[in-house]
């Protein structure tokens, strides 16, 4: 008897412990076959096309395929290996083909079009109207109206894009994993926090080597750049980090970048748009490339003069401290930290004992309880894909709301960064309500033999950021899965995440999570005040940096021709020209490892972080006016933003919550870039 495939059985939570890599291919083949049958049933239905037998039927089709896809591609990000990566290259074209078959199905589109053009004859709910709009646009924006020859080319482009984007990410992960800086002289690590040294020593021992091994994982890289007194060590690590997928080896991503950009441009042209940015921004709050450029330029106008003064201050400080006359990029984080300590008497390392990971998590849950009446129960009976993963059942008024997976530490099979994802979305179907299964994935400092995981304050804000996304998904209360939770315009999706970060700076909130891991002492008030005062430290440089990333994104995706664009580094340098305040490093290139825009969903959308900052600064002012734990404001926020998902236009939702459009000056005031 052949082995039972757990992915093809009925399951609620993903059956990780029963799954094997070889289960995925047959599971995809079978679920694709099932999804095609469901589409065929809609097309072949001889009844008059209706919202129920066409739009809703389409919305709820392919459920098994969607769940298997979410499991597989989440594993490919958080717990991958060569076999999974190879399988991803095989499966992605199959999914692209299915997606194209669906979106280019002429008979299906005719039914959708009929319902869309006749919607004025029916009384649909706001959510039904939004779903109809979304589905109709999805078809028209993906080639439903194209001639057959152009549709065939679109299919080829989508297959190539899926494979090339996967390869891009695989190369970045390989480069990260392949880098090791082996040191035997402890004096070279002078200034580096003891916890980082201990981790580096333990890693060397694991690899049966003497001394220490430094990697490019964030919990190692960031502290070394901030605290290592050895300038050559900082330089070596900086060059390793900045040259990922830019070396002359098999993991070089330069051609992948050019191919992705070229294919996206061709795809946009086929669909009647001048650029990929034009195509993407049509379905964003910003609406157009010109609006994004104006938005970024307006912020840069305020930030750049401040940034230039700040970099000169850093240079003068480095010269005064250590006689550094040729200030370089690998000096910036180190002297920023030293100057911050001098100005605010604030040592990042002295704060870490107050931010033990489990204590921060419990405090964060307390904040969610105060705001949204949620409770979190740690459970051991839910399958996980790695022993590091912790699971919680989430309740609202003792009613089950969601499952939360939490995966916090780096490992070789896990990509850099932090993200929120879902294994199942919330939706209603008939009398049945499905509640979401949500995961937050980060790369925080690992515990060692002698110390627990102690976070930097930056890691604390990262945790709150991803938890803000999770709250968006967990509180969802919509009928349709594609409009649920964080399924909103890309430049609106960062509002819940960035808004929650604000609680990290408030005394009333910090007292819930900032407690010494050994004594239980709450972080002294003077430290809380110093954190708040230092929050705008070198804000001009930080803002300019973020704007520069948005500019680089647009430099690639607002192109209307690829003529003359054949040197990735040269094109990147041109994009950074206005914002580059330190000598360029010829061996480094950001584009070749810029996963947000070449592997993630942020192409033509990196500006969204700054866009959402305008929203979150304005929204938090509203909270502060009434109290950061005000029950009425929190309930209003939950009902208008968190629960509604993508069922209403974002600006309408924001105005329902705030009573007005956001005030951009709130961001500039908070950043200290304009006077209050």
- Name the residues annotated as catalytic: 466
CB 295, CB 607: distance < 8 Å: yes
β-partners of residue 391 are 379, 405
Q: Among 381, 386, 419, which Cα is nearest to 403's?
A: 381
Q: Among 429, 499, 415, which Cα is nearest to 173's?
A: 415
Q: Among 464, 389, 471, which Cα is nearest to 426's?
A: 471
Longest dimension (CA), the chain: 82
CA 63, CA 56: separation in Å to the nearest integer? Answer: 13
Q: Among 418, 426, 403, 423, which Cα is nearest to 485's?
A: 426
Edge-to-edge strands of the sheet including 399-407?
374-379, 390-396, 399-407, 437-441, 419-424
CA 658, CA 676: separation in Å to the nearest integer? Answer: 20
Structure tokens at 554: 């647009």
Q: Indicate the SS3 state at residue 368.
A: helix
Structure tokens at 467: 């938890």
CA torsion 443-449-455-456 (nearest 10°) is -100
The CA R_g of the chain, rounded to the nearest whole Å, is 25
Sign of the alpha-carbon dihedral angle for 494, 223, 242, 584: positive
Sign of the alpha-carbon dihedral angle for 266, 267, 270, 274: negative
CA 496, CA 493: separation in Å to the nearest integer? Answer: 7
> What does the DSSP 8-state code read for residue 524?
P
CA 151, CA 13: separation in Å to the nearest integer? Answer: 38
Residues with Cβ within 8 Å of residue 132, at least 6 apart in sequence: 51, 55, 115, 116, 119, 124
Which H or E run includes 596? Answer: helix 595-598
CA 391, CA 403: separation in Å to the nearest integer? Answer: 7
């Amino acid at each position: 008897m052949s082995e039972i495939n757990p992915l093809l059985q009925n399951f609620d939570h993903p059956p990780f412990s029963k799954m094997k890599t070889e289960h995925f291919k047959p599971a995809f083949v079978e679920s694709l076959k099932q999804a095609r049958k469901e589409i065929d049933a809609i097309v072949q239905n001889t009844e008059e096309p209706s919202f129920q037998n066409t739009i809703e039927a389409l919305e709820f089709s392919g459920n098994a395929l969607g769940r298997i896809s979410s499991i597989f591609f989440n594993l490919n990000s958080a717990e991958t290996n060569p076999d999974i990566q190879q399988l991803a290259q095989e499966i992605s074209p199959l999914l692209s083909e299915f997606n194209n078959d669906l979106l280019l199905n002429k008979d299906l589109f005719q039914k959708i079009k009929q319902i869309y053009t006749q919607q004025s004859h029916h009384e649909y709910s706001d959510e039904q109207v939004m779903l109809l709009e979304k589905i109709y646009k999805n078809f028209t924006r993906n080639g439903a109206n194209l001639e057959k020859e152009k549709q065939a080319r679109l299919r080829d482009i989508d297959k190539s894009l899926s494979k090339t984007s996967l390869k891009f990410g695989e190369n970045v992960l390989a480069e990260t994993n392949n880098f090791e800086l082996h040191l035997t002289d402890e004096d070279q690590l002078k200034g580096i926090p003891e916890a980082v040294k201990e981790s580096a020593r333990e890693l060397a021992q694991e690899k049966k080597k003497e001394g220490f091994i430094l990697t490019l994982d964030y919990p190692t890289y960031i502290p070394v750049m901030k605290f290592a007194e050895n300038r050559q060590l900082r330089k070596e690590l900086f060059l390793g980090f900045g040259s990922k997928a830019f070396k002359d080896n098999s993991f070089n991503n330069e051609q992948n970048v050019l191919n992705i950009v070229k294919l996206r441009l061709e795809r946009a042209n086929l669909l009647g748009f001048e650029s990929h940015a034009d195509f993407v921004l049509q379905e964003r709050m910003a609406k157009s490339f010109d609006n994004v450029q104006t938005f970024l330029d307006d912020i840069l106008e305020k930030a750049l003069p401040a940034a230039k003064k700040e970099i000169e201050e850093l240079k003068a400080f480095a010269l005064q401290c250590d006689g550094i006359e040729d200030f370089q990029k690998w000096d910036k984080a180190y002297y920023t930290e030293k100057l911050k300590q001098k100005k605010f008497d604030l040592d990042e390392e002295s704060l870490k004992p107050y931010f033990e990971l489990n204590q921060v998590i419990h405090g964060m849950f307390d904040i969610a309880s105060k705001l949204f009446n949620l409770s979190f129960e740690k459970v051991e009976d839910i399958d996980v894909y790695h022993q590091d993963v912790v699971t919680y059942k989430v309740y609202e008024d003792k009613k089950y709301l969601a499952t939360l997976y939490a995966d916090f530490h780096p490992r070789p099979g896990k990509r850099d960064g932090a993200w929120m994802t879902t294994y199942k979305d919330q939706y209603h179907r008939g009398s049945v309500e499905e509640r979401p299964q949500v995961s937050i994935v980060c790369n925080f400092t690992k515990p060692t033999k002698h110390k627990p995981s102690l976070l930097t304050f930056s890691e604390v804000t990262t945790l709150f950021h991803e938890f803000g996304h999770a709250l968006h998904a967990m509180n969802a209360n919509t009928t349709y899965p594609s409009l649920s939770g964080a399924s909103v315009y890309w430049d609106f999706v960062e509002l819940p995440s960035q808004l929650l970060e604000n609680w990290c700076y408030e005394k009333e909130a910090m007292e819930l999570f900032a407690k010494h891991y050994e004594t239980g002492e709450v972080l002294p008030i003077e430290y809380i005040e110093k954190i708040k005062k230092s929050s705008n430290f070198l804000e001009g440089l930080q803002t300019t940096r973020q704007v520069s990333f948005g500019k680089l994104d647009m430099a690639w995706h607002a192109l209307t021709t690829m003529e003359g664009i054949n040197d990735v580094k040269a094109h990147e340098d041109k994009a950074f020209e206005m914002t580059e305040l330190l000598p360029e490093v010829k061996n480094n290139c950001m584009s070749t490892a810029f996963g947000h825009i070449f592997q993630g969903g942020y192409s033509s959308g990196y500006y969204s972080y700054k866009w959402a900052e305008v929203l979150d600064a304005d929204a938090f002012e509203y909270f502060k006016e009434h109290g950061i734990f005000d029950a009425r404001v929190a309930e209003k926020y939950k009902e208008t933003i968190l629960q509604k998902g993508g069922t209403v236009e974002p600006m309408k939702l924001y105005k329902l919550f705030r009573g007005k459009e956001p005030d951009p000056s709130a961001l500039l005031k908070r950043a200290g870039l304009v006077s209050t």
